[in-house]
Structures are given as structure tokens and as C-alpha cells.
Amino acid sequence: MKLSKLASEIAESPTFALNEEARLLRERGEAVINLGIGEPKNKTPIAAVLSSGAKLTTGDVKYTPPDGLPSMKKAVIRYTEEAYNRLVAPENVIVTNGAKQSLFNIFYSILDPQDEVIVVAPYWVSYPEMIKMCMGIPVIVTPEDGTFTPRFEDIERAVTSSTRAIIINSPNNPSGAVYPPELIEKIVNLCEKKGIFMICDDIYHKLTFDGVTAVPAWNFAKKDIESSNVIVVNGVAKLYGMTGFRIGWVVAPRKLVTVMTNVLAQTTSCVSPIAQAAAEGALNGLQSVVEALRLQIQNNRDVLLQEMKTFNGVRLIEPHGTFYVLPDVRAFNKNSVEVSKFLLKKAMVVTVPGKEFGMEGHIRISFAGSVKDITEGVSRIKWALDSTSPNEIYIGDKKLVRDWM
């Protein structure tokens, strides 16, 4: 069987692969704890449930405009004005099947073969693969100082005549780092000077802690929306815990939105009106649900940090956003894939190898779940890796003894 070389070279999603392995173990009755998935455990906001239910009960569930329902775009416009202090038109907005499709659509719409996109490590696992799927070249810039914040000089040095965009994710998945305003400002100025796009993956932009703010790139843009080099991606998955609804959106110059609309129309046709109605309900409803989720996640973060304090050998940079932490586990094993496989086999805990995020020697731990899962999950990880932790542990109803140290 002959398959596309381009498609065959695209890597499997490590998070989905690990989640599937965890699901199969759970079905066999194993007491698996999933600290790998970035999915809040909250219930869907009631405003979203009622709005989608009202749409469904009309029985009028048909095709929608490829760029999104006018009412949904109106909700995005309002959100953009309130969250970013930026007034945009309906022609500047496209609604997509999740922020993931937003990003792929952007890359497909701006890249020609061999064009380059600068990706800052640590990065979300899908960025490089999406760029390659669009026949572009991901250019990785990795901090060399042991932090998760890149140096502007390194980003600037990576720019070539083939560079079409720089993608920035702050707050950052997988590290939880929030980039300082001065770095964002310098990148905006660089993109405006060089005529390249700055793609802002803002999916976590309100999930920050300790009074830290993720300053929007638009704050530093000197051009209006039509001439701007800034593209903003967002969605309801993380801020509202609505991962299954698959609603994202892009705010960008209308010329780009027009091309993206054509791409979406020829691929997925449109976005489900039921899902759009749910997203409308969330965006137009009481926003206290976002703050409630943020406070819950911050509490989870604090619990995790407290549990990690007694973890000998692990180097940890405190996250100030998202619901992830990226501990350095090189003291135990420099191969993060081996570490994650070991933890799943021995401790029945799902983590994600840092290698997938461009940070070998680290593992990503999600604290989006319950406090119980966090405390028990970290306890199991310590038991498996830290020789100073107790030698025995109960996993489910099984008493296990550590015999590999």
C-alpha cells in the first residue's frame, strides 16, 4: 500500500496515545491516574448548556456560514473588546472547529513550501507537526539558560528571508511560563519591522496566578487591525472547560480571514451550530465561571507545589499560568520517554514526555484534575523515582514494594 510520504511522516499525538493507553488500563480495572491530559474537570457552564439546548430543541440544525454564525462572531467581537480593548469587525473573525483547526488553517493560509515558522521551546506538541503538514519548516528556538523564557536575541537571530511567522504561546503549554511584557513588545516590533506574522495562541490567556498578567501583543501593535501583523487565536476549551465542544476562533486582518474561510469551506464546510450556540452562551453568560475555574486551578497548582517540595532530585520552575508544570527529571533519567513509560508501568500515572515539547529530560504534569488525583499522583511518582520516599505504597487495593533501587 502506497501512502503519502508527507502524511506518513506526521507524528502521532503523544497525549492522545497516552490517554488511550490509560483508558485501556482503566478498563482492565487498574487504578490509573491521568496527570497527562489538559482538561479541566468542571461541568460545562449552565449558560452554555441552556444555549445549546435551546438551539437543539428548535430542530433547525443545518449548515452555517463557513466563517461562523453572525451571533457567534458578535460574541467574539464583544469578548475581544472586553479582554483586549480592541474593536474588530465581523470580517476580522472566523470561527473554527477548535483552536487547533484555527492554527492549522493559519499555517495553511500563510505558508508556501519551505517557508519557515519560528517556534519557541517548550512548545505545544502540535505546532511543528502542523507546520510540516503545510509543507513549512519549523525553526525551534530553545532557551539555553535553564528557564522556559526565550531570549529575544535568539528569536531575532533565527529570523531569515524565509521566515513567515513567529508563534507565541503565553501562558505557555507545557511550562506554565508567562512571558514578560518587554519580550512581547520586542517580538511585536520585530514582526512589524520585518513584515512577518506574530501568531498569538492565547487559549490560556486568563488562566494566570499570583497577580501575573499575560499582556496581549495588541497592546504594542502600532498598526490597525487590517495592517496588523498580529493574529490572535482563542477558544472556549480551556477558559470555560468546554474541551469537547471544539470551538475556536481567529481574529486577524480580513484578507487573511477571507482565505481561511475558503480553506474551512473546502475542508469541514462549517462549524456545528449546536457547538456555536454553546460557545455563545459561555461568552455572553456570567463570566464568574472563568474566575471560579481559575481559582480552582490556582489551588490545584498550590497543592502540587506543596507536594513537590519533598521530591528530592527534581528541579521545578513554578508555573504562573495554564494548568501544567514541567519538572526537570534528568537526575533520574535523561530520556523523558523512558521516564513516562516507567511511571505508567510502575506507578500507574500518566505524564507526557518533555521530548514532545522540545524539552528533553522533563515531563509534563497536568494539575487540571482533582486535588485527590494530584496528591496521590505525585505521591506515586515520588515513590517510583525518589529513593528517600517510603518503600511501600498502595495503588488501588494492591500493596507494592519498590525493588528497583
**What number is the average pLDDT over the span 201-210?**
98
Lowest mean pLDDT among 6-20, 96-110, 124-138, 178-192: 6-20
User: pTM value?
Assistant: 0.95
Q: Are residues 17 and 132 in the same domain?
A: no
138: left (phi over 0), alpha (psi -120 to 50) or beta: beta
Cα 118–chain centre separation: 17
* 134 and 203 housed in the same domain: yes
pLDDT band at 390 (very low <50, low <70, confident <90, very high): very high
Report the distance separating Cα 220 and Cα 186, nearest Å: 9
Whether the Cβ atoms of residue 163 and residue 196 lie closer than 8 Å to each other: yes
Q: What is the pLDDT of residue 405?
A: 83
How many distinct structural domains can be found in the chain? 2
Confidence of residue 19 (pLDDT cuts 50, 70, 90): confident
CATH number at residue 305: 3.90.1150.10
280 and 294 in a single domain? The answer is no
198 and 146 housed in the same domain: yes
Tell me what pLDDT residue 29 has. Answer: 85
In a domain, 48, yes or no: no
| Dihedral of the alpha carbons of 89, 91, 97, 98, in degrees to the nearest 10 | -40
pLDDT above 80 (res 8): yes
By the 8 A CB rule, do 236 and 267 touch? no
Residue 30: is its pLDDT beyond 90? no
Would 364 be classed as within a structural domain? yes
- Which pLDDT belongs to residue 103? 98
pLDDT at 13 over 80: no
Of 259, 284, 309, the one marking the end of a domain is 284
Confidence of residue 17 (pLDDT cuts 50, 70, 90): confident
Mean pLDDT of the chain: 95
CA distance 365 to 349: 10
pLDDT of residue 325: 98
Instruction: Note the pLDDT of residue 189.
Output: 98
Residue 74 lies in a domain: yes
Give me the residue label for grid cell 519533598: 310
For position 378, what pLDDT does the model report? 97
Cα separation, 90 vs 84, in Å, equals 16
- By residue range, what is the domain housing residue 341? 5-43+288-401
The residues facing 251 across adjacent strands are 93, 232
Residue 217 located in a structural domain: yes
Q: Can you tell me the mean pLDDT for 25-32?
A: 88
Q: What is the mean pLDDT of residues 23-27?
A: 85
Q: Do residue 38 and residue 77 come from a single domain?
A: no
pLDDT at residue 335 is higher than 80: yes
The residue among 256, 284, 312 that closes a domain is: 284
pLDDT digits (tens, 9 = 90+) for 251-285: 999 999 999 999 999 999 999 999 999 999 999 99
Nearest partner of 126 among 393, 397, 374, 356, judged by Cα: 356
Per-residue pLDDT, 195 = 97
Is pLDDT at 162 greater than 80 in this prediction?
Answer: yes
In this structure, is residue 88 part of a structural domain? yes
Amino acid 6: pLDDT: 84
Confidence of residue 292 (pLDDT cuts 50, 70, 90): very high
Higher pLDDT, residue 20 or 357: 357
Q: What are 121-152's pLDDT values in tens digits?
A: 999 999 999 999 999 999 999 998 889 999 99
Residue range 213-246, pLDDT digits in tens = 999 999 999 999 999 999 999 999 999 999 999 9
Q: Is residue 234 within 8 Å of residue 206, measured between CB atoms?
A: no
Could you tell me if 190 and 64 lie in one domain? yes
Element (H, E) at 157: helix 152-158
**Is 9's pLDDT higher than 90?**
no
pLDDT band at 22 (very low <50, low <70, confident <90, very high): confident
pLDDT (tens digit, 9 = 90+) per residue, 92-120?
999 999 999 999 999 999 999 999 999 99
| Distance from C-alpha of 288 to C-alpha of 128, rounded to nearest angstrom | 35
Domain boundary among 227, 253, 284: 284
Q: pLDDT over 70 for what percent of the chain? A: 100
Per-residue cell: 127? 505546532
Q: In this model, does residue 248 exceed pLDDT 80?
A: yes
Task: Identify whether residues 309 and 198 lie together within a single domain.
Answer: no
Residue 51 domain flag: no
Unique residue bearing C-alpha cell 467581537? 77
Residue 297 has pLDDT above 80, yes or no: yes
- The yes-or-no verdict on residue 15 having pLDDT over 90 is no
**Quick check: 168 and 184 in contact, CB under 8 A?**
yes
Same domain, 74 and 38: no
Q: How far apart are CA 218 and CA 92, in angstroms?
A: 14
Q: What percent of the chain is helix, strand and coil (3-state, nearest 5)?
A: 45, 15, 40
